Structure 1
Amino acid sequence: MDGVTFAPVQTLHGWAQFSPFYPVRRYRVPPKGCSITQVNGISSCLKRHGARFPTLHSGERIKSVVDKLKSAKSYIREDLQFLKDYTYDLGFDDLVALGALQSYTAGQLAFTRYSHLLSGDATLPPFVRSTSSSRVIDSAHNWTSGFSFASQHRFNPVLSVIMSKDASYRYSQTSANNTLAHSGCPLAGDGDEKSDAWVNIYATPIAKRFNSLALDMNSNLTAADVVDLISLCPFDSVAKQEPSQFCNIFEPEDFTNFEWGMNLDKYYGTGYGQPVGGRVEGVGYVNELIARLTNTPVRDNTQTNRTLDSDPATFPLDRSIFADFSHDNQMVAIYSALGLLNEKHEVLDETRVNPETEWDTSDVVSFSAEMVVERLSCAWDPPVAGYKPTEYVRIMINDALQPMSFCGADENGLCKLSKFVESQSYARNDGDGDFEKCFLTQT
C-alpha cells in the first residue's frame, strides 16, 4: 500500500475499486535463462490513477445519506455517537495525498525494477500517456516525478500525450478515439440491473438495521443509501490516511457483499458480461499493445486514434518502457479484451457471492492498480549450439502473475510472443463484430 498501512488486508478486500493499491502477490523475477527486453507499461502497460475523493455525484449522495443519519435525535449503538459532531468535509474528484504518493512511489519502483532496459540512453526515457481527467493527468505527472527522482534526475520522462481536447498540450485529440477512456461506444450498456438486484438483496436488511438504531430520523435510509454509506469508509480512510469511524459501523459481511455488488457492476459494465460495449472497448488498446510488443504499426479499426498512432512522435516503437494512465472501467474492458480473469469461465451471479471469484475488484482495479506486460527473451541455460533465444510475454496485475492458458503459458506464466499474438484474435479482428453494436440500435 505504498508505505501507508492503516487497515487490515481483509478490510481492504471489501473496499472493491476504492481499495488502496496492495501487491496481490510478490513480484516474481524472470526464470533462469530469461531476461526482460521490454516492459510495455508503467512498470507495466497500464495504471489506474491514485486514490481520490468521491466523484461529484457520488459525494453529493454520500453527504445526503450522512445528513439523514445526523438528523436522528438519538442513537442506540455507541459506535454511532460520533455522528453528533461529525461534519462531512471531503472534496470531489481530485486525488488525495495518498493518491499522489501512490503514483510517485510507483514511478520510483518502475525505475528500480526496469532501469536496466534504458541502456544508459537518457534521450529515450519512458513514454507516458494519459487520458484527460485531472486526477489521471496528475497521477501521470506524479509517476514521472518519482521515476526521475529514483534515477537521480538522469532520466526525466514527461507526459507526452493526453488523449483529450485540452489545447494546452501539444498532442491532443477528441475523446471519441481514446484507448485510455471508456468513451468509444455510444450505445454501451451498463451493469446497473445486475448490481441493483444484488443491492436490494444484501443492503435492504442493513438499511433496516440502521433505521432501527438511529431514532427519529427525518427519513429512513434505503438500500441505495447503504451502498453510499459503506463507500464512505474507504473514501474517508484514504483521505485522512487513517481508519474512518464509518468503517466500524459495518460488519465484515457487509463489506463482502458491498464488493460483490461492485464486482457485478464491473463485470456487467465493461467486462465479459456486457454484450454492447464491454470488452470491445479494450480492443484498441490491445492492438496498440501488440504493436509495441512486435515493433509493428498499429492495426485497428475500433477506437484507436489513427493520427496519434501513426506518428512516431505520439506513438513511438523505439522505447523500452511505456506508461499509460487510465480509469478502472477502461482497465476492466482491456483485461476482458485480452482474455484475462477468465480461466474459470465464470458468469457472475447477482443472487449470491462467489468467494472464489477471479473477478475481485480489490485485487485488479484498486486505486493505483497496474497491469504489467513484459516481453522476455529466453534461451537454454547453459546455451545450446544453434539454438536462438525465443521471445515470450508474461502479464501481471498488481504483481499477481496471470496464468494465460489461452496462449499456452507455462508454470512461469510465459507465453511465446507468437502464441500470445495469435491468441488475441478478438482484438486483431476488431472485436468480431461487437464494435458495430456500439453504433447500430438493436431490433
Structure 2
Amino acid sequence: MVGTLGVIWAALSSVLTLASWPLFVPAHDPFSSAHDTFELQKSWGVYSPFHAVAEYSPPPQGCEISQVNILHRHGARLPSVSQSEDILSGVNKLQSVQVYTDSRLDFMNTFVYSLGENLLVPLGAMQSFESGENAFRRYSSLVQEDDIPFVRASGMSRVVETAKNWTAGFATASNDVYSPRLSLILSEEGNDTLQDNNCPNAASSHREMNQWLDVYGPPITSRLNSWAPGANLTNDDIHGLMMLCAFHTVASVPYGYKAGSPLPFSPFCSLFTPAEFESFEYSSDLDKYYSTGYGGHLGRVQGVGYINELLARLTASPVVDHTSTNTTLDSDPATFPLNRTIYADFTHDSPLIAVFGTLGLFNTPKLSTTHPEPTRGWRASEMMTFSTRMVVEKLICDQSIRGRGVSNAYVRIMVNEVAQPLTFCGAKETGPRKGLCRFDAFLESQSYARHNGEGDWEKCFI
C-alpha cells in the first residue's frame, strides 16, 4: 500500500487548498458536436494536460535496453504569482460590469476566484502516478533489489510532489516489491541543472509574445468588451482569461479522474473559439522558442549541465562540466551514483526546453511573430505539456546490427512517446531501426555540451 498512500497524500495536499472551490461545468457546449473537446485540451500549449503524442515502440528485434534516463516536467499546477495577477486583472474588470449582453458571461455574477498559486493539483498528482506506473511496466526487467531508480527533483514543491507521486506509482505497479524514494532535492537557490535561473543574461520572450498578441488579441478583446460594456479589457487581459480556462479546468478535475475521460471544462473556455485557442497555443510556442529554445539568447547553454550529467551516466564516468552542475553533489556517489539502470529527474518546462536545444532536438527555423507556420515542428502542446517526459534509452544490440568488431551500443530518445529522429548523429529516419543512433556517434554529436557551451556559458555573466 505504500504507493497508493503516496499518491493520495500528494493529491490531498493540494485538495486541502482547493476544497472550497466551486466546480464549474458549462451549462451549454460552445463547441459544435463535430469539435473534439479532447483536441481543445491540446490547444493550451504548455498548460495542456499530458497526452501521448504517439504509441510507444519497443526496441527493434535484436536490441535490449540496458539503461534509462527520464527527464520529467511536473504535473498540472495552479498559476504562478505573475500569472495570477494577469488572470485577476481580466476577472475583476469583467465583474465590474453591471449588465452583460451575452449569456456566456452570466456565470460571472456568482463566480468567486479562489485559485491558489504554484501548487500541484490532483490531476498533476495522478499524471505523475500513472507515469511511474508506466515506467515500471515498461522497464521492470532493469529493476533489481539492489538497483532501483535513482530519483532527483528540483526544489520547488510542485516538482518535489511530482517526483514523490512518480515513485508511488512505480512502487504500486511493482506491488510494492520495489519502492524507489526521492533521493535528492536540488536547491533552486544554487547550481541546479533542473532549473533555468543560473544564467542572468538569458533572454526573455516577452517581446515576441506581445508581438503575436497584438495580432490575434484585438478581435477577441473587441468582442468581449461588446459582451461586457465598460469592462475595458486589454489584450493582456484576454491572454490572462485564456490561461484561466486551462488552469481552472485542470484544477477542477477531481481525484479519481480516468485518463482520456472528458474534463469538466471551466466556463471561461466557452468565451473563446477553437481557432482562438490555436492562436493562444502559438503564444506558448513563441514563449519557449525565444526564451530557452533555439531563438533565445543563451537558451541552449542552460541545458549543458544536465546533458553532461546524462553523458556521465551513459558512460559510467565522472561528470565533466563547468556550467550549472553542483560539483559537490555530482562528485559524490551517494548523490550522483553511476551504477543505476534507471534515473528519473524532475524539473520545469524551461530547463527541459533548453535540454532539447542542447541535444539538437526539434531544431526549427526562426518562428514568425505574426504568421504561424501551420506545418511547424515546434509545438509546445506536443513537446511540453504538463507532465511531459523525455526518455533516453541506451540499448545493446546483437552484432548482426553492425557486424563484428563494431560497438553494439545505441541511444534512442523519446519525447512524449515520439521516437526522435536523431539525424544529427546518423540515425535512420525510417525502418525498424528508426531513431537508433550509434552510441559513439551520439557522444560525438554532443560536442556543444562537452565543451561547456563553446563560450556561451561565460556570456551568461558578462
Q: Give the structure-1-normalised TM-score.
A: 0.91
Question: Which position in structure 1 is the counterpart of 2:52?
Answer: 23
Question: Which position in structure 1 is the counterpart of 2:271?
Answer: 249
In the alignment, is the contact (CA less than 8 A) between 1:65 and 1:229 conserved in 2? Answer: yes
Counterpart of 1:137, as a letter, is V
Q: Secondary structure at 1:184's aligned position in 2?
A: coil
Question: Which position in structure 1 is the counterpart of 2:123?
Answer: 98
Counterpart of 1:93, as a letter, is N
Segments of 5+ residues of structure 2 without an aligned counterpart are 1-24, 26-35, 254-263
Question: Which position in structure 2 is the counterpart of 1:437?
Answer: 459
Q: In the alignment, is residue 50 of structure 1 matched against residue 75 of structure 2?
A: yes
More displaced 10-residue stretch of structure 1: 253-262 or 366-375: 253-262
Q: Secondary structure at 2:76's aligned position in 1?
A: coil
Segments of 5+ residues of structure 1 without an aligned counterpart are 1-5, 165-173
Aligned 1:97-246 pairs, distance under 5 A: 97-118=122-143, 121-164=144-187, 175-217=189-231, 220-241=232-253, 242-246=264-268
Q: Secondary structure at 2:183's aligned position in 1?
A: strand
Question: Which position in structure 2 is the counterpart of 1:361?
Answer: 380
1:85 corresponds, among 90, 98, 110, to 110
Question: After the TM superposition, which segments of 4 or more aligned residues of structure 1 sit over 3 Å from their partners?
Answer: 380-384, 386-389
In the alignment, is the contact (CA less than 8 A) between 1:24 and 1:400 conserved in 2? Answer: yes
- Superposed CA RMSD in Å reads 1.6
**CA deviation digits over 1:313-333, x for unaligned, max 9?**
111110000000000011111
Residue correspondences, number: 414
Q: In the alignment, is residue 339 of structure 1 matched against residue 360 of structure 2?
A: yes
Q: In the alignment, is residue 324 of structure 1 matched against residue 353 of structure 2?
A: no
In the alignment, is the contact (CA less than 8 A) between 2:86 and 2:236 conserved in 1? Answer: no
Aligned 1:259-274 pairs, distance under 5 A: 259-274=281-296
Aligned-pair distance for 1:388? 6.5
Counterpart of 1:123, as a letter, is D
Counterparts of 1:287 and 1:387 in 2: how far apart (Å)? 28
Q: In the alignment, is residue 315 of structure 1 matched against residue 336 of structure 2?
A: yes
Counterparts of 1:150 and 1:13 in 2: how far apart (Å)? 28
Aligned 1:290-305 pairs, distance under 5 A: 290-305=311-326
Q: Secondary structure at 2:151's aligned position in 1?
A: strand
Counterpart of 1:359, as a letter, is W
In the alignment, is the contact (CA less than 8 A) between 2:401 and 2:408 conserved in 1? Answer: no
**CA deviation digits over 1:239-295, x for unaligned, max 9?**
1121111111101121111111111111010111112x3110000001111111111
In the alignment, is the contact (CA less than 8 A) between 1:117 and 1:321 conserved in 2? Answer: yes
Counterpart of 1:408, as a letter, is G
Aligned-pair distance for 1:297? 1.1
Counterparts of 1:303 and 1:314 in 2: how far apart (Å)? 16
Aligned-pair distance for 1:389? 6.3
Counterparts of 1:115 and 1:371 in 2: how far apart (Å)? 18
Q: In the alignment, is residue 306 of structure 1 matched against residue 327 of structure 2?
A: yes
Aligned-pair distance for 1:54? 0.7
Question: Which position in structure 2 is the counterpart of 1:170?
Answer: none
Counterpart of 1:84, as a letter, is N
Aligned-pair distance for 1:383? 11
Q: Give the structure-2-normalised TM-score.
A: 0.87
**CA deviation digits over 1:365-397, x for unaligned, max 9?**
11100001000111256997x566610001011
Identity over aligned residues, as a percent?
47
**CA deviation digits over 1:340-364, x for unaligned, max 9?**
001xx41111011122111111111
Counterparts of 2:407 and 2:445 in 1: how far apart (Å)? 21
Q: In the alignment, is residue 63 of structure 1 matched against residue 88 of structure 2?
A: yes
Counterpart of 2:166, as a letter, is W
2:426 corresponds, among 408, 423, 426, to 408
